[in-house]
Each structure stands twice: as C-alpha cells, then as structure tokens.
C-alpha cells in the first residue's frame, strides 16, 4: 500500500496489524489483552516509524546503472548487467525491477538480494532479440527495506535509453575467429589448395613443410640455400551477396525468419571476404530491385553493409528474377561471385526461374543458397502410429526429396549450390566461399 511518494507498506505490516486486532478481540474475554494489544500496536507503529526515518534519511539511498552492448545482436544472447550501489551505512534488502523493451515481453524481470553497506553488487541477465529495429529500455525501479521490512522505499533510477538491434555482430566475430584461427575449429573446413593459381607474393627461405614444387631454383643457386616461392590468395575479387526478400523468405525458424538468417549470414560472410582481401557488395530484390551496394574493399564498407542489412524488410510478393537479371547486368560489370540467398520451395518454382539463373551464371559465378525445411525433415523421421501419420510421413519424405532434386538440377546446369538448414547457413556459406577460392573458380 502506498501512502506518499516513494513509501510503500509491505504485507508484513498488515499481518502485524491483524495480529494486534486479534489481541484486541480477546480483550473482550480478558482485560489483560487490551493492555497487551495496546503495547503491540505501539511497538508496531514505533518500528514502522523507525524504518521510515531510516529509509528516508538519505536523499539518494541507492544508485544503479545498466550496462549493455550497443547495438544488440539479432538472434544472439546479449548480456545485460545491472550494477547497484548501496549508499546506506547498513545492509538493506532490495528488489530490483528492470523494464525491458516491449518486443521481448519480459514481464517478470526482477532480482532480490541483500545489499551490504556502501558496497556495489551486479545482476546479469540475457536477452535474445528476434527483430531488427529500435529497442527502448525504461527506468530501473528499486525497492529497499530494512529491519522487519514493514516499509519499503521505492527509488526510480532514470535510465531510459534506446538501443538498436543490428544483424548479429557476435556471430560475425565468432566466424572471423574460426576462419583465421591457426588451428582447426568446429564448423569451418580447412580446405587444401589445388594447384598454384593464386597470386605470387614473395620468395622466402625453405622451412620444413613447404611444398617442394614451389622451389625457386634460380634463387636457390644465387643464394646457395633452398628458396621457395610463396603464394597468397588472389585478391580484390568481386563478391556479391544477393538476398531474396520475397514472401518465401518470411518462413519462421526458431523465432527468426529465413530473411533474418540470410541477413546475419551476409554480414559474417562479407566480413570474411573483406578480411581475405576481396571486394564485398550487396544487392536485394523481391518483386522489384531493392538496395544496391557496389563491391568495395574500403575500411567503411562493412559498416555500409551493416546499415543496409539493418533496414531490410520482407515484401509479401513473389520474387521477380527477370528484374534481378537485368539489375545484375546493369549494376555488376566485372565477372563476380554471386551468393544468392533464396528459398526454392518446389520443382515448379525452379523451372520458372532456372532459365534466368542459367543466364546469370553465364555472366558470373552464381551460387544458389536455399533452405531445407527442418520441421518437415523431423516429420519424415517419425514413426507412424495412425493411418494419417503414414500419409504425413510420406508427404514429408517427398518434400525433402524434392529439395534434393532441386539442388541436383542446379548442379547439373553448372550452378554452384548450397542446400542447408537455417542454423548451419553461415558455416556452409563460408565453407563454400573458401572451397571456390581454393579451387580457383573465382
């Protein structure tokens, strides 16, 4: 119960009053209970007054700050830390409420603990944003009490702030570490290079493990010691990520849409391309051509890609591949690697777009990346119990087989293909890029 600004009476105080009331009722039986009841009432009110005096003795009893990463990463567990400082010279019990953004629907975000005198304590929790955009955190509410906890003082810490949720920066850094780590790490394949179609870098002294086929005999004879040629990946190649924003990419998986997975993958993949010395670009399309960013290798290119990805939204129409073909022909001049993120649902849909994909593949190296339906794959693995389960399982198996037929048809027409699940999208995309570079396809 609230009686004036910042002061609340707890349930314990009302329980004490009920006990006192019962004692007064027994006073009708024995007068001694009136005296005991009066004494208890005075004691309860005295304790309440003392607690109010103690709690309101300081102007700023507690301080609190919210520490978070700005921007937040889409689809990842983002750590939020609440740091609370007790300015009293005695311990208090505290209940801390953080007002998370409405998109998260966290209605029970509270922490209870004892704060030691003049000490700092931190409380952490994690949030997983599933939508790109602006997230608004409100003020932090702290309720402090002491002694018998008859009274609580409410402290409002002004900490409202707006935070943007961008494509996953956390995943981008994780995959960068995996690709450029000296030792093999989970997911990223260490692909053996085929031939010597990479760029010459320098002549260096032979060390154990170098390929004997790279020995430079002229330099060896001049220096009178074994010298070898060192090669590096061919650089400054144009790599474009092309994202389909049509309604087929609206399909959800683990609270994110396929478009969101494609956006997260594009950011991580573009970062790897830039780190490898290539030029990364971006293009989106649906029923019409969307955003376009020419492939560059400048220091600000990754930030430009991130800003464009942040703004992308699904359009609830069919993808127009004819417009995509003309957009590629008009805006991408040199031969490039095109990583096309889409979702081909049926063989009929493939037949409709295959002629245009073949024409694009004649101009560039095209890699089509599309998705398996994991829920249908699970249904195909189930054990049927009823007759309807048999029909359902058969349909699921046919659907899964159709996806594999689509991938096979694309490969038969010379188009690089990646059929993957949403959770493996980034790993499979990066591995395909590394494979194509190792094979000298690009």
329 lies in the same domain as 415: yes
23 lies in the same domain as 108: no
Residue 260 belongs to some domain of the structure: yes
As to burial, measured by CB atoms within 10 angstroms (0-12 exposed, 13-18 middle, 19+ buried), residue 311 is exposed
406 lies in the same domain as 283: yes
Q: Nearest to residue 93, comparing CAs of 110, 114, 117?
A: 114
315 lies in the same domain as 434: yes
**What's the confidence (pLDDT) of residue 196?**
44
Residue 228 belongs to some domain of the structure: no
Last residue of a domain, one of 136, 166, 196: 166
> Is residue 319 within 8 Å of residue 244, measured between CB atoms?
yes
292 lies in the same domain as 242: yes
- Backbone torsions φ then ψ of 207, nearest 5 degrees: -125, 155
State how far the Cα of 68 lies from the Cα of 161, in Å rounded to an integer.
11
Query: For residue 194, what are its two tokens?
Result: 């085929």
45 lies in the same domain as 96: no
Query: For residue 334, what are its two tokens?
Result: 């040199």
pLDDT, one tens digit per residue, over 150-203 is 999 999 999 999 999 999 999 999 998 888 775 444 566 655 444 444 555 567
Peptide bond preceding 71 in cis form (omega within 30 of 0)? yes
pLDDT, one tens digit per residue, over 79-115 is 999 999 999 999 999 999 999 999 888 888 899 999 9
State how far the Cα of 296 lies from the Cα of 236, in Å rounded to an integer.
9
State how far the Cα of 267 lies from the Cα of 289, in Å rounded to an integer.
20
Residue 42 belongs to some domain of the structure: yes
Domain that holds residue 347: 238-439
Threshold 0.85, pTM exceeds: no
CATH of the domain at 345: 3.40.50.410
Tell me which of 100 and 208 has the higher pLDDT. 100
As to burial, measured by CB atoms within 10 angstroms (0-12 exposed, 13-18 middle, 19+ buried), residue 102 is exposed
As to burial, measured by CB atoms within 10 angstroms (0-12 exposed, 13-18 middle, 19+ buried), residue 222 is exposed
46 lies in the same domain as 82: no
21 lies in the same domain as 108: no
51 lies in the same domain as 135: no
Residue 46 belongs to some domain of the structure: yes
**What's the confidence (pLDDT) of residue 264?**
96
41 lies in the same domain as 68: no
Q: Which residues pair with 416 in a beta bridge?
A: 367
CATH of the domain at 111: 2.60.40.10
Number of structural domains (the chain) is: 3
CB atoms within 10 A of CB 242: 26
How large is the angle between the packed helices 425-439 and 169-180, nearest 10 degrees? Answer: 40
């Amino acid at each position: 119960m609230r009686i004036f600004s910042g002061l609340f009476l707890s349930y314990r105080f009302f329980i004490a009053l009920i006990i006192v009331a019962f004692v007064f009722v027994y006073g009708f039986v024995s007068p001694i209970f009136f005296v005991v009841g009066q004494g208890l009432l005075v004691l309860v009110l005295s304790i309440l007054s003392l607690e109010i005096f103690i709690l309101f003795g300081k102007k700023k009893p507690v301080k609190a700050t919210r520490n978070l990463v700005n921007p937040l990463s889409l689809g990842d567990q983002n750590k939020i830390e609440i740091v609370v400082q007790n300015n009293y010279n005695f311990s208090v019990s505290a209940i801390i409420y953080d007002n998370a953004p409405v998109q998260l629907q966290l209605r029970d975000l509270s922490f209870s603990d004892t704060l030691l005198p003049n000490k700092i304590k931190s409380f952490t929790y994690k949030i997983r944003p599933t939508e790109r955009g602006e997230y608004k955190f409100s003020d932090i509410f702290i309720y402090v009490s002491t002694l018998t906890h008859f009274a609580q003082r409410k402290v409002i810490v002004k900490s409202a702030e707006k935070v943007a949720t961008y494509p996953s920066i956390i995943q981008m850094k994780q995959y960068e570490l995996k690709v450029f780590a000296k030792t093999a790490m989970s997911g990223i394949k260490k692909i053996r290079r085929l031939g010597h179609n990479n760029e010459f870098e320098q002549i260096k002294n032979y060390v154990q493990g170098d390929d004997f086929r790279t020995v430079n005999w002229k330099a060896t004879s001049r220096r009178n010691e074994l010298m070898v040629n060192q090669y590096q990946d061919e650089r400054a190649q144009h790599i474009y990520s092309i994202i389909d924003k049509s309604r087929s990419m609206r399909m959800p998986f683990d609270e994110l849409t396929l478009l969101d997975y494609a956006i997260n993958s594009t950011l991580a993949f573009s970062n790897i391309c830039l780190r490898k010395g290539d030029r990364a670009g971006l293009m989106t399309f649906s029923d019409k051509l969307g955003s376009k960013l020419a492939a560059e290798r400048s220091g600000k290119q990754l930030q430009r890609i991130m800003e464009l990805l942040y703004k992308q939204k699904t359009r609830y129409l069919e993808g127009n591949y004819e417009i995509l073909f003309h957009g590629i022909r008009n805006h991408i001049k040199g031969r490039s690697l095109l990583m096309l993120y889409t979702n081909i649902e049926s063989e009929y849909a493939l037949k409709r777009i295959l002629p245009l994909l073949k024409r694009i593949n004649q101009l560039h190296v095209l890699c089509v990346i599309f998705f398996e339906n994991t829920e249908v794959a699970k249904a195909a693995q189930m054990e049927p119990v009823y007759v309807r389960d048999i029909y359902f399982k058969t349909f699921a198996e046919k659907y899964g087989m159709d996806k594999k037929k689509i991938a096979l048809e694309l490969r038969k027409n010379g188009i690089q293909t990646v059929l993957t699940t949403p959770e493996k999208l980034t790993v499979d995309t990066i591995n395909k890029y590394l494979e194509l570079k190792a094979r000298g396809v690009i």
